[in-house]
Amino acid sequence: MDGFETRARAMGYRAIAGVDEAGRGPLAGPVVAAAVILPRGFDPEGIRDSKALSPAARKRAQLRIEAEAVSFSVARATHEEIDEINILQASLLAMRRAVSRLSPEPDFLYVDGTFPVPCGLPQEALVAGDSRCLSVMAASILAKVARDAMMEEYERLYPGYRFSAHKGYPTREHLAALRRLGPCPIHRRTFRGVLS
């Protein structure tokens, strides 16, 4: 399960971080990134791509990752930044913020997707990294749990949209709420479907 981390250690790296984000597709809320440095020998039991885990399993995994990680961090780019610089650039910005908050500083990154984090560190982008690389899976879990919690808080601030149910994704229920209520302050105004 930790084959990528083993390969990086064989190249001489010691602080290997996985990086992933959650929330590129929603119509509302921030995009959230996490970066995680796992210890050598970390038990992969219960660690999977966050999308393959139930909310309860994600929460259990999150608590264990945070308890056992060498370092972890979570960062975001706001809906305003998404509208200003586009979702790809905002995702990379959130990832860079997450990486910059790790202590100790990583010396190598595995990044989910096809784009490197703009930070100058040695790294490898892994397509479907969140289902192939243990540290990226861990990052995907922390990012997803953190973002879901944010969207549940936004439901209390902006009732009527049911953010806790769909987390801002363009479900039928969410689109119907947008037609009925119009966008609220956390909607991404540049996303199709937000403004009619």
Extended strands (E) in 23-132? 31-37, 71-77, 108-112, 123-126
- What tokens appear for 174 in the block? 């969410």
Q: Please indicate, yes or no, if residue 164 is contained in any of the structural domains.
A: no
Provide the number of structural domains found in the chain: 1
Task: Note the pLDDT of residue 195.
Answer: 85
Question: How do residues 35-48 score in pLDDT, each as one tens digit?
Answer: 999 999 999 999 99
Predicted confidence band at 2 (pLDDT cuts at 50, 70, 90)? Answer: confident
Look at residue 142 and tell me whether its pLDDT is greater than 90: yes
Which CATH number belongs to the domain containing residue 27 in this structure? 3.30.420.10
Q: What is the mean pLDDT of the chain?
A: 97
- In the sheet that 123-126 helps form, which strands lie side by side, from edge to edge? 71-77, 31-37, 16-22, 108-112, 123-126
Q: Please indicate, yes or no, if residue 100 is contained in any of the structural domains.
A: yes
Residue-number span of the structural domain to which 128 is assigned = 3-147
- Residue 188 DSSP class: -
Q: What mean pLDDT do residues 130-143 have?
A: 97
pTM for the whole thing?
A: 0.97
Pairing of strands 108-112, 71-77: unpaired
Q: What mean pLDDT do residues 86-105 have?
A: 98
Predicted confidence band at 196 (pLDDT cuts at 50, 70, 90)? Answer: low
Question: How do residues 52-85 score in pLDDT, each as one tens digit?
Answer: 999 999 999 999 999 999 999 999 999 999 999 9
Q: Please indicate, yes or no, if residue 184 is contained in any of the structural domains.
A: no
Q: Please indicate, yes or no, if residue 188 is contained in any of the structural domains.
A: no
Predicted confidence band at 100 (pLDDT cuts at 50, 70, 90)? Answer: very high
Residues in the chain, how many? 196
